[in-house]
Amino acid sequence: RKEVEQDPGPFNVPEGATVAFNCTYSNSASQSFFWYRQDCRKEPKLLMSVYSSGNEDGRFTAQLNRASQYISLLIRDSKLSDSATYLCVVNMGNAGGTSYGKLTFGQGTILTVHP
Amino acid sequence: DADVTQTPRNRITKTGKRIMLECSQTKGHDRMYWYRQDPGLGLRLIYYSFDVKDINKGEISDGYSVSRQAQAKFSLSLESAIPNQTALYFCATSDLPGDTDTQYFGPGTRLTVL
């Protein structure tokens, strides 16, 4: 089983649609969670961190369910500029419970928003 | 100017050649990382360094070596390149772990081994 698994898609949605991505992780000791965005042939960039209570940044909402080891990203009112690959990223932490600084990436979910 | 730079941006080489990919950063971060990205596999960690004297293997270090010449520089070497090392290589940096553990990536080096 992969440590971080995502549905690779692709997701093709019209402008204005709401789309949700899911991600599962295998290590229950994982410490912190993120969504990164990667445009075609570009480097990944942090989109948002994911907190236990859920968090929102404009049209983007991230949720974490530690019991189910599940992370989600919801994009509302999709824009053409949202077209990209979305990477689910997990910091596995260490036995002492402190943040370890080593990230594990999912394979990414491809989103295409069309007019 | 970019905070994390990589050279070269593109490289085509032949099997058996020695290749060095270089990464420099102006962010003042202690931690640096090398990843490779292959279609359908996501980013996989090759090596990481938490400071100049601390270098660690990642999940796919075989066939690679690294050198941390200074806080700002972290080089990746392929001693004898083989075709399955054809990939997109990214360098990244991060500060000490904090609330975000954000990693900042360079623009990538596209390496083709013939």
- pLDDT tens-digit readout, A64-112: 999 999 999 999 999 999 999 999 999 876 544 444 667 899 999 999 9
**Chain B residue numbers touching A34 (CB-CB < 8 A):** 100-102
Is residue B97 very low, low, confident or very high in pLDDT (cuts 50, 70, 90)?
low
**Chain A residue numbers touching B33 (CB-CB < 8 A):** 102
Q: Given CB atoms, is A59 within the 8 Å cutoff of chain B?
A: no
pLDDT at A101: 66
Please give, rounded to a whole number of angstroms, the shortest distance from the CA of B53 to a CA of chain A.
17
Inter-chain contacts counted by CB atoms under 8 A, chains A and B: 55
Please give, rounded to a whole number of angstroms, the shortest distance from the CA of A43 to a CA of chain B.
5
Contact state of A105 with B42 under an 8 Å Cβ cutoff? yes
Test mutation, A41, A91, A103, chain B, max B CBs within 10 A: A103
pLDDT at A94: 58
**Can you spell out the DSSP letters for chain A?**
--SEEE----EEEETT--EEEEEEES-TT--EEEEEEE-TTS-EEEEEEE-TT-EEETTEEEEEETTTTEEEEEE-S--GGG-EEEEEEEE---TTSS----EEE---EEEEEE-
Partner residue opposite B101 with nearest CB, options A32, A42, A44 = A32
Q: Given CB atoms, is A103 within the 8 Å cutoff of chain B?
A: yes
**Chain B residue numbers touching A105 (CB-CB < 8 A):** 35, 42-44
Is residue B100 very low, low, confident or very high in pLDDT (cuts 50, 70, 90)?
low
Average pLDDT of chain A to the nearest whole number = 90
**B4-59 tens-digit pLDDT:** 999 999 999 999 999 999 999 999 998 999 999 998 788 999 999 988 999 999 98
The region of weakest confidence among A72-76, B19-23, B64-68, B101-105 is B101-105
Please give, rounded to a whole number of angstroms, the shortest distance from the CA of A33 to a CA of chain B.
9
What would the two tokens of residue B36 be? 């490779």
**Chain A residue numbers touching B42 (CB-CB < 8 A):** 4, 87, 105-108
